[in-house]
Structure 1
Amino acid sequence: MMKYLNDLNWWKQLAINVGGVLTSILSFLSILNIHYNWLTADSINAFTSFIVAFGTLFVGSFATIVNTYVTEHSKKKAKKVAEDYEEQKKQEAAAKLEEAKRLVELAKQAEASNTQNQ
């Protein structure tokens, strides 16, 4: 659920859905000649705007809190990932160097055997 709550597009979609339902209710009641002073197109628009505004506040606050309080943990995790990556690169380089040494040794042996055969 949290993955939806911190997505501004989800809040906008929620506002559109709520606005559509309220507009349908307004139309239904108008057809029946039932009128409420507080249920108007303007009040529906204001309510949907409130939902989007609340969503923006929530998303902004959530991002700020996560970036402020989780940053130290994230920095440590990112540092560990970078160190692991560097170690992996060093191991790959060492393996390539060993392979190159082995190939050079094989080439020297082949050259020596060719020299002896001639």
Structure 2
Amino acid sequence: MIKDIITQLGGFLTALLAFFTVIGISFDWFTPQSINAFLLLLSSFVGLVINIYAVYKNTYVKKRLQEKKGEQ
């Protein structure tokens, strides 16, 4: 699902680039390469967040559950 959202965001940015080109507005930094770089950065960030959550869940939440089972 997240990959689909990132793909749609890339499509929107590409369409926005085409729209700006048609109406004569151009930014030197807004190119297909910059869009691809942004999407790569966004994908990497999402992966990082998911991995940090997984480490947190596996380390701290399981430890707390084990401590609660030990108290009972």
Pair in the same fold by TM > 0.5: yes
Alignment pair present for 1:25 and 2:16: yes
TM-score of the two chains, using structure 2 as the length reference: 0.83
Rg larger in structure: 1
Quick check: 1:13 aligned with 2:4? yes
Q: Which amino acid aligns with 1:21?
A: F
Aligned counterpart in structure 2 of residue 69 of structure 1, from 60, 67, 70 = 60
> How far off is 1:75 after superposition?
3.6
Structure 1: gaps of 5 or more residues: 1-8, 80-118
Number of aligned pairs?
A: 69
Cα RMSD over matched residues? 1.7
**8 Å CA contact retained: 1:15, 1:49:** no
Gaps of 5+ in 2: none
Greater RCO, CA 8 A, separation 6+: 2
Stretches of 4+ aligned residues off by more than 6 angstroms:
none
